[in-house]
Amino acid sequence: MKAFNSIFLFLGLSSLTFAAAPTGRYKTIHDQMKALEAGHPQVAKVFSIGTNDDGVELYALRISTAPQEMDKSKIGQLMVATHHGNEGGSTQLAMEFSKDLVRRYESKALWKENLNQMEFTILPVLNVSGYNNNARHEHGQDPNRDYPGPCTPNGWGKLKSIRSLISFVETRSFAGSVTAHGYVGNVTYPWGFYTDNNKSFDNNKYHEIFRKVAEVNSYSYGNSGDAIYPANGCYEDFIYWKHGSWSLLLELLNGSQSDVADTVPAMAKFYDLIDSTPSAKNQFEANCTNHRGPNLRIE
């Protein structure tokens, strides 16, 4: 009987999936996140949104007045950094924004505007293997070309990290979303894919919001397809098209300490300016077009 039970115990244990521990530069960021949680448990909580193809947990910070559990009654806000592993300035931006956010939650600023009603989720590193190797791609794929959209209905989700993030954003409503990249020095809004009309129905509202955001750190601003150039399958278009989240694509200027410091308040300004609910005008009703020339986009 003991042998029989031992066999079933072995089979049960062998079916379990154990997440790989953070290593390399990603471990350093995870340690910083855990330190922020340990120092401010009343407003900060580290949790996983899922795993990548290597079985590594994708850790995020939840920052709110009650961070231990997701609170769908609060206004959800999201920040995703390091789609591209060689854009480490975006990682630092996410961490510095998290630290500044914690400071604001523990100050009188909590009661200004809607901060006390918001719940922030900040994912400093999406592309773990790329970040550890200072490489743009993840397992030979560009993570920021792996999302569904009106012009990319098929062939998306090749990376598990992207599928994990797509699943996570289904768990609650996010009024706003920032995706941090580098290095151009601008803030842009949808649409950014190949289309004969890249102006969304919210184009005028986006333009006015981003004008005020860009005043903070003196970045240029505009529509993604015009300010940079088009690319299909990007997160910044997906989150707006699929969920209506007010979407900001941040291209840091150079990722220096001063650049990051100047941009943190610009991102805070964005979250303050947008509506407390996702847009209801996020439909795409123009036409998709073919790529014209090489895709040189380097965000």
User: With contact defined as beta carbons under 8 Å apart, do 81 and 180 qualify?
Assistant: yes
Task: Select from 272, 255, 274, 219 the least CA-distant residue to 104.
Answer: 272
What tens digit of pLDDT does each residue of 37-79 get? 999 999 999 999 999 999 999 999 999 999 999 999 999 999 9
What are the pLDDT digits (tens) for 98-141? 999 999 999 998 987 789 999 999 999 999 999 999 999 999 99
Tokens of 202: 């919210």
How far is CA 198 from its chain centroid?
22
User: What tokens appear for 89 in the block?
Assistant: 């300035």
How do residues 5-39 score in pLDDT, each as one tens digit? 444 344 444 444 567 989 999 999 999 999 999 99
Q: Cα separations (Å) of 76 from 48, 49, 105, 204, 277?
A: 17, 15, 15, 23, 9
List of E strands, the chain: 44-51, 57-63, 75-81, 118-123, 176-182, 186-189, 220-223, 246-252
Strands in 118-123's sheet, in edge-to-edge order, are 44-51, 57-63, 118-123, 75-81, 176-182, 246-252, 186-189, 220-223
Query: Could you tell me the pLDDT band of residue 274, with boundaries at 50, 70 and 90?
Result: very high
Sorted by where each starts, the structural domains of the chain and their CATH numbers stand as: 27-273 (3.40.630.10)
pLDDT at 8: 38
Give CA separation, 137 vs 159, 196, 235, 298, in Å.
11, 29, 15, 12
